[in-house]
Amino acid sequence: MSGHQEYSFFGAVEKSFDKAAKFTNWDPGILEQIKQCNSVYRMHFPVKIGDQIEVIKAYRVQHSHHKTPCKGGIRFATSVNLDEVMALAALMTYKCAIVNVPFGGAKGGITIDPKKYTPYELEKITRRYTHELIKKNFIGPGTDVPAPDYGTGEREMAWILDTYMSQKPGEVDALGCVTGKPVTQGGVRGRREATGLGVFYGIREVCNMPDVMQRLGLTPGIEGKTVVVQGLGNVGYHAAKFFRQGGAKVIAIAEYEGAIMNPDGLNEDEVFQHRKKTGSILNFPGATNIAKSTDALELDCEILIPAALENVINGENAPRIKAKIIGEAANGPLTPEADDVFAAKGTLVVPDMYLNAGGVTVSYFEWLKNLSHVRYGRLEKRFTENQNKNIIQQIEGLTGKKVNDEEKVKIEHGPDEVDLVYSGLEETMISATREIMECWKNNPSIPDMRTAAYVVAINKVATSYAELGIFP
């Protein structure tokens, strides 16, 4: 490390919180309570790996209990430490508040490199971690509901579910103890692409605001806009896909081994398949290689989507970034110093804590599905289709004109689970975007959209505390 002190992610979240708290009228004691992490659980447990016993270090942090259960992902990464888990738990509280998902924030992590273990060893680690959570009541459909995050996915969530259910036989809502599960194990359709789709809905809504676009010197709408995506994991891949399908041009994709660029646009799936085959996104047919992955962030584009890890855009490289809109698909990709640079430059930063809330929004839908014990659309799909058929017949009878077959199929279609999930997510992201922009407009001294988002979040959490009568 050079002379400056080490970057604290939790410190950065606190800094953003304090910046926003000035624009609210709450008692300092309430603000202090919202800032703190309520419960922190640090654990070490032994797991037999091969013929060695390895001591695994893991965490679960519950940041806020103003609403229950708590909700937040589980990371498997060597970088996992207490500071990071606390920061991510705090962001979850604010994120859920902004998108009106009635959960408190939490986060978990295991300090391992998942690539170094066999699936069987990972299963042992995951199940043992779940046992530790059950022991201290840090998991359960009404207390704390984990989800996938960096380094985990549907497979790990299925292991968590199975471990929980074996410990709590006959618990009727046990399926709701974890989200992001495979659909066959009580998961919900649309969960996998939810975060990337939410990023798209949020940015699209911002681009549909003529006054915001005018300020940035851009034309309204997403059509034809150039996009650079950093990270081709679950979030980056789906964000790129929906931007492309929405008519934008993804001109560059960056991964840790380097980046590729094609001004005519890239197809994320072809790039993904190429990477699967060759082990790298480099040398993709028709694209130019960029040796240093971070250089892609500085390319000339209208929309930049950092969808990898935190702290990639800082005070040092922010001045060289040319994008007009930065959509934070990852958690904490910008440092507070970068925020100041962009506020001065007039670059619009669409903040992570609401932009990547698609994951927790659809997790909420999954949790509701588990508690109601019925698949979305099961009760109304046929009813809607029959009703639409009747309407078409009536119209045809009255006008004497026939509706063509293609239109008929479109109009008659009753909603499947995935249609309802997409529609619920779209509604959530559009109303959250408007609420944040409204708050910013009504208070011109708020410096940026992130601060406006924090103000919205603080007001909602504080109102909960006040209404619960915790503070007489």
Q: Residue 170: left (phi > 0), alpha (psi -120 to 50), or beta?
A: left
Last residue of a domain, one of 185, 207, 232: 185
In the listed set 322, 355, 388, which residue is the last one of a domain according to the structure?
A: 355
Q: Does residue 76 fall inside a structural domain? A: yes
Last residue of a domain, one of 136, 152, 185: 185
Would 141 be classed as within a structural domain?
yes
Q: Which residues contact 22 (CB under 8 A, 6 or more apart)?
A: none
Nearest to 18 by CA among 380, 458, 325: 458
Q: Residue 256 class from Cβ within 10 Å (0-12 exposed, 13-18 middle, 19+ buried)? A: middle
Same domain for 259 and 320: yes
Q: For residue 470, what pLDDT is reported?
A: 62
- Domain of 104, CATH number, reads 3.40.50.10860
With respect to residue 467, please indicate whether it lies within any of the assigned structural domains.
no
Q: Any idea how long the chain is?
A: 472
Residue 430 lies in a domain: no
CA distance 40 to 64: 11
Query: Are 326 and 259 found together in one domain?
Result: yes
The per-residue pLDDT for 5 is 58
Q: Is residue 178 part of a domain?
A: yes
Query: Is residue 322 annotated as part of the catalytic site, yes or no?
Result: no
**Cα distance between the two ends of the chain:** 47
Active site residue: 107, 241, 324, 381, which one? 107
Give the other-Cβ count within 10 Å of 364's Cβ.
23
**CA 191/CA 262 separation, integer angstroms:** 30
Tokens in use for 355?
């932009």
Its pTM stands at 0.91
Domain count, the chain: 2
Residues 336 and 208 in one domain: yes
Residues 138 and 203 reside in one and the same domain: no
Does residue 287 sit within a domain? yes
Is 206 in the same domain as 294? yes
Strands 226-230 and 144-148: unpaired
Residues 131 and 237 in one domain: no
Q: Are residues 330 and 238 in the same domain?
A: yes
Q: Are residues 179 and 206 in the same domain?
A: no
Say whether both 229 and 332 belong to one domain.
Answer: yes
**For residue 162, is it within any domain?**
yes
pLDDT score for 374: 94
Give the CATH number of the domain where residue 202 resides. 3.40.50.720
Is 268 within 8 Å of 240 (Cβ atoms)? yes
Q: Which residues contact 278 (CB under 8 A, 6 or more apart)?
A: none
Same domain, yes or no: 167 and 130: yes
Q: What does the pLDDT read at residue 1? A: 37
Structural domain harbouring 150? 40-185
Q: What are phi and psi of 393, to 5 degrees?
A: -60, -40
Residue 75 in domain: yes
Clarify whether residues 221 and 87 are in a common domain. no
Token duo for residue 41 = 């659980």
**What is the chain's alpha carbon radius of gyration, rounded to the nearest angstrom?**
23
What angle do helix axes 358-372 and 194-207 make, rounded to 10 degrees?
130
**Could you tell me if 160 and 205 lie in one domain?**
no
CB-based contact 14:332 (threshold 8 Å): no
Q: pLDDT (tens digit, 0 to 9) for every residue of the chain, 472 residues total?
A: 344 557 788 998 898 899 999 999 999 999 999 999 999 999 999 999 999 999 999 999 999 999 999 999 999 999 999 999 999 999 999 999 999 999 999 999 999 999 999 999 999 999 999 999 999 999 999 999 999 998 999 999 999 999 999 999 999 999 999 999 999 999 999 988 999 999 999 999 999 999 999 999 999 999 999 999 999 988 999 999 999 999 999 999 999 888 999 999 999 999 999 999 998 989 999 888 888 878 788 888 999 999 987 778 888 889 899 999 999 999 889 988 899 999 999 999 999 989 999 999 999 999 999 999 999 999 999 999 999 999 999 988 899 888 888 888 888 898 999 999 999 999 999 999 999 999 999 999 999 999 999 999 999 999 998 887 765 4
